[in-house]
Amino acid sequence: MSTTTPPSSSSSFLNGERAVVLFFIAHILFSLPFSLLLSHGLPLSLLTLAASFLEITYDAAAAASSSSLFSTRRGASSGILLGAVTLPALLLSKFTQLSRGFSLAQVNLQEIQYLTLQYWASSATSFVVLVFLSFVLLRRAPLWRKDWGLGFGLCFLFLQASLCFLALASTSSQSSLQLVLKLSWVFGHGLAAVMLIQHFLRTFPSCASIGEALLVTAGIVLYFGDMLLLTVMKLCGLLMSSDLVTAEYETSRSEIGIIIQGLLLGLLLYPIPFKYILRVWEWSTNTGSADSRRYNEIRRSVIFISLFVLVMVGIVPLWMQFVHEFHVHPILWVLSFVLSEPSKRLSLCIYWVCVICLSVLYVYDISKNSRVERILLRKYYHLLAVLMFVPALILQPEFLNLGFGAALAVFLMLEIIRIWRIWPLGQPIHQFMNAFTDHRDSDFLIVSHFSLLLGCALPIWMSSGYNDRPLAPFAGILSLGIGDTMASLIGHKYGVLRWSKTGKKTIEGTAAGITSVLASCWLLLLLLASSGYFFTQHWFSLLLAVTVSGLLEAYTAQLDNAFIPLIFYSLLCL
């Protein structure tokens, strides 16, 4: 009787994706000042090593097992390394940028302290999720207990946790209770992420890889954590004079930021009460009559609309006014903001509506009457992002911030209607959206339009406030609207030399993507220079950022719309 041994991890240690990610982390560490290298850089390097060994072990276990450990997207690797390090590396790059502003007295200390807390929260989130995945491997595949990669990964994880504890304990003079609260707050993000990632993979099977689910859940938990922190600080200010909430938790937030946060989190939480109210209603009106099915659909729609109005017009604006000083109702504030410059902002709205309607109808008609591959059809939307967002980012950046929030809210609402099949729009929306899906989408969840919008929006949102890199806000538009589009079009039409035997990405496509982004950067810099911007980005660092993000797009099997803009933005901030 033969026994099966785990495959050697070392044989596949440096595939293309891991090599690019490791180079990306090494570049960030090299760019850190020495004072931050030990306190912030060393924990990130240990997290990177742990995620690398765990990814190797997980992929080998998935390949050797007849059944998958999780219901992840088919055709994609686990992506654990990329998912675990992207958010901490992004925040560390942003921390480096704000440190330059602090040395010039353009950034206050509270912003630095708050971003530091966010960095440790994201690192702790990745740590707890990686520990959870390690124990899943040990529990479901006892054979892998002897695998040296998993052992090394756990050792690096607990070294990283120890350094995180020491860094949090030594940041400032604080009482023991304050330290306990801070550690609970930081590692509470990780526990919440573990519960959310399990719920996500169970509710939407085969929709994402482990790395993609980790990035999404970590971002949502960090965003929810910020909302909870805002609420707790306001309550402490109203109810007591507490020394437990120190200055490092405080940072200024704009009205637009509060409105976007309340809008998105309200929509993400909305399905929870709707689900339970619907269950109670169906239980109380349980009937098997086929004649009443249509009336039940209408009643479901009435419940949906009523609860939606209550949450989004009543409860969410109350929270916005509670945590921020709005002198009027937030909806009225939005109207006054739009009408404060009516000629520019209303004209921009009309331009957006015309471009969207014409483009969507044109592409939808092509998708129904043409044999063009869907992956190429979807690149029209990438070009559409360039046409819509570049003029707005140059002329009306604040209005574009609000526009991104409104567009994402509309996408979330439509996806909720599609998933729940709310009459009468649920089924038509489902049929329309299916015309633009590919292998990365499923009937459970269509993510491509979310990833494209967020990929363009996140660099712009994160560049609000101090920003000494004028190209950083354009990171998503350049990498997705220009680079990814040109790489796909040129690679599909002229590509011959492939990066790997099993992949579809070609060297010609990657070269076209990198060249087109560099040419676009040059044109943008000329345009920004004529508008009064001062260029502070060295060409070598720009070339490095474009090349690394281009190579990652070529090698990764993950959803590139989600990762490439964040990687590109992180490199531009350095």
Nearest alpha carbon to residue 229 among 269, 282, 265: 265
> Under a CB-based contact definition with an 8 Å cutoff, are residues 107 and 199 in contact?
no
Note the pLDDT tens digit of each residue in 139-163: 765 554 556 677 778 888 888 888 8
Residue 360 structure tokens = 């969507």
Q: For residue 473, what pLDDT is reported? A: 93
What is the percentage of the chain residues whose pLDDT exceeds 70? 86
> Is the pLDDT assigned to residue 456 strictly greater than 50?
yes
- Amino acid 451 reads S
Q: What's the CA gap between 263 and 258, in Å, rounded?
A: 8
Mean residue pLDDT of the chain comes to 84
Q: For residue 493, what pLDDT is reported? A: 84
pLDDT interval class at 73 (50, 70, 90): confident
DSSP annotation of 249: G
Nearest alpha carbon to residue 21 among 78, 91, 80, 81: 81
pLDDT interval class at 549 (50, 70, 90): very high
Note the pLDDT tens digit of each residue in 269-299: 888 888 888 888 877 776 555 556 677 788 8
SS (H, E, C) 14-65: CCHHHHHHHHHHHHHHHHCCHHHHHHHHHHHHHHHHHHHHHHHHHHHHHHHC
**232 vs 443, which has greater pLDDT?**
232
**168 vs 489, which has greater pLDDT?**
489
Residue 378 structure tokens = 């979807």
Nearest alpha carbon to residue 440 among 200, 203, 206, 213: 206
Residue 115 structure tokens = 């971003």
**545 vs 369, which has greater pLDDT?**
545
Q: What's the CA gap between 509 and 491, in Å, rounded?
A: 4
Q: What's the CA gap between 224 and 195, in Å, rounded?
A: 14
Q: For residue 104, what pLDDT is reported? A: 87
**Sign of the alpha-carbon torsion through 27, 31, 37, 43:** negative
Q: For residue 135, what pLDDT is reported? A: 87
- The mean per-residue pLDDT over the stretch 25-42 comes to 89
Other Cβ atoms less than 10 A from the Cβ of 314: the count is: 9
- Top-confidence range, 70-84, 232-246, 341-355, 489-503: 341-355
Residue 139 sits at the vertex; the CA angle it makes with 133 and 140, to the nearest 5 degrees, is 90
3-state secondary structure of 242: coil
> Is the pLDDT assigned to residue 172 strictly greater than 60?
no
Q: For residue 449, what pLDDT is reported? A: 82
Note the pLDDT tens digit of each residue in 564-573: 999 999 999 9
DSSP notation for 446-504: --HHHHHHHHHHHHHHHTSS----TTGGGHHIIIIIIIIHHHHHHHHHH--SBSSSS--
Q: For residue 568, what pLDDT is reported? A: 96
DSSP annotation of 421: T
pLDDT interval class at 369 (50, 70, 90): low
Note the pLDDT tens digit of each residue in 192-225: 999 999 988 888 887 888 999 999 999 999 998 8
pLDDT interval class at 458 (50, 70, 90): very high
Write out the H or E segment, with its range, that includes residue 270: none
Look-up of token digits 């998105």 = 264
Residue 374 structure tokens = 């869907």
> Under a CB-based contact definition with an 8 Å cutoff, are residues 398 and 256 in contact?
yes
